[in-house]
Each structure stands twice: as structure tokens, then as C-alpha cells.
Chain A
Amino acid sequence: MSLGAHMLGALEADEAARVETHMETCPECRAEFEELRGLTALLSRVSEEDIEQVASPPTAVLDRLIAASARRRRVNRLLMGLAATVGAVVVGGAALMAVQDSGEPQRTTAANAPSVSTEVDQAGPQALKNAPGSSGSGGALAPSGGPSEAPPVASEQRADTLVAPAVPLTGRKAGVEARITPVQSGGGTSLNISISGVSQGTSCRVFAVAADGTESGAGSWTIDPADYPRGRTASASFVGHTDLSIDRIIRFDFRTPAGRLLVSVPNR
């Protein structure tokens, strides 16, 4: 019983001497002492402060993590709701918008591609700083800078839903260009969409059209005039979802609320 205290040097001198004497004639105690002795090398590698830190992790972080995961769930629900009630959610769509300054339609599809490992490498802690304090889904999604800011929308999809390679479909009409990367998601299809050449303030709706003429709303958004200098056309990226499976869809139509066709993107 005194072996542990002896090993840690906590026994008074006379008792320590007794333990030593005992171990000379007791192989069992000697063996046990040797077995435990290796622990002191490990104990010496940490400080009392280290142990206290481990024992009292920063609980504020837990709260923020739970809030962040809840926000992510809300975002997912919002995306589903958007698909279900297309046309009525232009305001909600504005929160999802990732309007970009110039024609750079590939951006969304490129951002959709990174695997888990590249994402780990690219985002710094400053990306995180934006998240905890931001309120509502707009703050969580609105891109504010470099390439590491773009993936949040795309990364809402779990990697296991990415059954098809991310090959964008494109369509052009009178200066308007749209790209769609469809990703099978459950029974339906999630769409990473970018569109350029549409003047600001334009509201767009996206419809997935099946071979039999069935149309399914896949999202709507508005190009926010406040974000961009007058007179420029913008490229916007957003995520849509339709209940139609990708193999049923023959094309995607982008229309204004009045029904005017902006551009059509054929499916392969």
C-alpha cells in the first residue's frame, strides 16, 4: 500500500527506508513497484495547470457549438421550405443569395467540389469568428470574402449524398448564363445554381421540368440591388431543391415572377 506514495517520494525518510528494505526480500512488491515506476515519466510530462484545463473545458464553446449545429439544421429546413413554397419566399431567398460582383459562374460549382480534407486546410479561425455572433440564416450563409467563405452553402450537403460527380449544366439566352450542378439528395435533387447577366433587382424562380411536362419549383431568389453598384449585372449563386429525381428532369427553366423565361438549362 505504501508503494505508490513511495514511488512519488511522499513518504517520510524512515518509512521510505522500511519500504526499500521490504522490497529487497519481497519480489512481488519489487515487481509491482517497477511496474508503477514507469508512470512517473508520464506524470512529469504534464503540469497541474494542464490537468486543470483538461478537467474544466471552456463550456462557452459547447454552447456555441450547439447553437451552430442548430443553426445548420434551421438552414437545412429553410432550404427544404424554399423548395416547397417557391414563389412566396423571395425575401427568404434573398438571405440565401450569394451575389457576386462579376461574371464568375463557375465559382459555385468549384466550391462544391472540395472534399473534406481540402476544406480542413483552407478555412482559418477567422471564418469561424463570423459564425457564432451572426444572427439568423443570412449571416451564416452570406459570403463575405475569400474562397473559404463560399463552401458553407455547398457543405450543407453531406458528402454521402454526393453520388454524382459535380458536372455543371449550362444554358445561355440573351446575355444571361446559368449553371446548375445537380446532386441527388434523397428522392429529389439538390441544385447548386449560379446565374449571371441578370440585372439587379430581378426576381428569379427556378423550375425543374420533367419529360411529361411536370414542373417542380426548385427555388427563387432576387438579385439584391443594394449590394452592387448601379448598372452592373451580377452573378448570383444559391442552392435549390426539387422533389423530382434528376433522371426525370429534362431541363431547368429560370423565370421572372411574371412568367418571362430568362434562360433554360437542358439536362443531359
Chain B
Amino acid sequence: MPEPERAAVRLEDVSPAGTADEQLIRSLFDEHAGSLYGYVLRLTGDPGKAEDVVQETLLRAWKHPDVLADRPIRAWLFTVARNLVVDHHRARKSRPQETTDEALAVLPAEDELERAVESWGVADAIAALRPEHRAVLLETYYRGRSVKETAEVLGIPPGTVKSRTYYALRALKLALEERGLAP
């Protein structure tokens, strides 16, 4: 049996601020880590480096919640991540012995940032759909399958594929509107 009194002390040791911090981190991560990671991975082509950049970007957002209060967080995060990638790239260039194996896949241009924020917002909106909605969109649109083929792959009637596709698109439209990305 653990000593109950000590256990109680340990619980108090986790301050309210601490749990709030963790909640903030979790929500930042849940909402943004996936799209940030995808974006950075495309810039660097290096999964490990992309993880580091995502971590640093989210850590900065967590440390400076005041920065995020009066601006679109997504654009801020992408800007920070992009700057980190560029800084890292420059640091590498200044050390020639390290540039041989890992070059930056794509050096991001300033004006591409806004477009990237939008595109990843779309990916985000699709990823946030209910799984059955996402599945029919993936099959019909991204894999180019017909209703009949999709019905076979997913093991549901063709009529269900049609109705799900319709509701998936309506849900997607809403999700995009919520993100300010209405078509």
C-alpha cells in the first residue's frame, strides 16, 4: 500500500496551472499538429526534423498565449514553422559539411504561405469529418472509385454510398465555413 498522505501531497503538487498548461498543449496539438506536421514535412522532406519544428512551434504558442489572442492562430503557427525551417536551412548552408545529404526539399516562398494555410485547412476539415463520411470521400474522389466500387470496398449498399457522399459534402461545406474557407 502506498502511503496515502504522500500521495495526497503529490496530487497537490500538480498545480491547477499545470493541468491547465497540459490542457492547452493538448488542444493546440489536437487542433494543429497534424496539419503543421504535413506542411513542414513537405517543406523539409525529413520526418524527424518536421517533428522537431512542430514541437518548437507549438511550444512557442503555449508559452505565449497572449500572442495568439488577437490573430488567426493557424497563420501564426504556419509562419513560425516556416521561419524555423528557413532558419535551420540557412544554418545548414553556413556549415557546408552538413549540406550533402539533407537539402531542403522546397524552399518556401513568402506568398505561398497563405495558400498553404488554406490547403491544410481543407485537409484539416476533411480529416475532421465523421469517419464514414471521410471514407466515402476518400474512395469516390481521391481514389476515383465509382459508387458501385465504393459500396463493395466499404461493404455498404450503393444507396448508402450516395447518401453518405451527399451528407459528407454538406458536412464538409460547414466545416470549411467554420474555418473561413467557404468555397
Residues of A within 8 A of B165 (CB): 4-5, 8, 10
Contact B51 A60 (CB under 8 A): yes
Chain B binding surface, main DSSP class: helix
Residues of B within 8 A of A126 (CB): 88, 91
Q: Which 6 A-B pairs have the closest CB atoms?
A: A38-B183, A4-B166, A57-B33, A54-B34, A57-B34, A53-B38
Interface members, chain A 35-83 (any B CB < 8 Å):
35-36, 38-43, 45-48, 50-51, 53-58, 60-62, 64-66, 68-70, 73
Of A39, A41, A65, which contacts B59 at CB under 8 A?
A65
Contact A54 B15 (CB under 8 A): no
Q: Given the complex of chains A and B, what is the CA–CA distance between A50 and B53 in angstroms?
A: 18
Q: Given the complex of chains A and B, what is the CA–CA distance between A66 and B63 in angstroms?
A: 12
Contact B122 A120 (CB under 8 A): no
Contact B34 A43 (CB under 8 A): no
A151: min CB distance to chain B, Å: 11
Of A53, A125, A160, which contacts B37 at CB under 8 A?
A53
Contact A10 B147 (CB under 8 A): yes
Contact A69 B21 (CB under 8 A): yes
Contact B147 A11 (CB under 8 A): yes
Q: Given the complex of chains A and B, what is the CA–CA distance between A222 and B120 in angstroms?
A: 50
Contact B67 A116 (CB under 8 A): yes
Number of interface residues, chain B, beta carbon within 8 A? 75
Say which size band chain A's interface belongs to: 35 or more
Contact A120 B60 (CB under 8 A): yes
* Known pairs A46-B119, A58-B33; A70 contacts B18 (CB<8 A): yes
Contact B63 A155 (CB under 8 A): yes
B-contacting 9-mer, from A94-102, A127-135, A233-241: A127-135
Residues of A within 8 A of B30 (CB): 57
Of B25, B67, B145, B159, which contacts A62 at CB under 8 A?
B25
Does A3 sit at the interface, judged by CB under 8 A? yes
* Known pairs A10-B140, A58-B33; A45 contacts B55 (CB<8 A): no
Contact A159 B162 (CB under 8 A): no
Does B66 sit at the interface, judged by CB under 8 A? yes
Interface members, chain A 96-145 (any B CB < 8 Å):
116-117, 119-121, 123-129, 132
Residues of A within 8 A of B51 (CB): 58, 60-61
Chain A binding surface, main DSSP class: helix
A-contacting 9-mer, from B1-9, B104-112, B123-131: B123-131
Using an 8 Å CB-CB cutoff, how does the interface string of B28-63 with A read, 1 for contact, 0 for none?
011001110110010000010111111110111011
Contact A11 B146 (CB under 8 A): yes
B79: min CB distance to chain A, Å: 9
Does B143 sit at the interface, judged by CB under 8 A? yes
Contact A50 B172 (CB under 8 A): no
- Closest partner residue, chain A, to B131 (CB atom): A55
Contact B38 A39 (CB under 8 A): no
B99: min CB distance to chain A, Å: 15
A166: min CB distance to chain B, Å: 18
Known: A11-B146, A57-B29. 15 other contacts (CB 8 A): A5-B147, A10-B165, A46-B119, A46-B120, A46-B126, A48-B143, A50-B120, A53-B37, A54-B38, A61-B58, A124-B91, A125-B88, A126-B88, A128-B55, A129-B52
Contact A5 B124 (CB under 8 A): no
Does B26 sit at the interface, judged by CB under 8 A? yes
Residues of A within 8 A of B17 (CB): 73
- Closest partner residue, chain A, to B173 (CB atom): A39
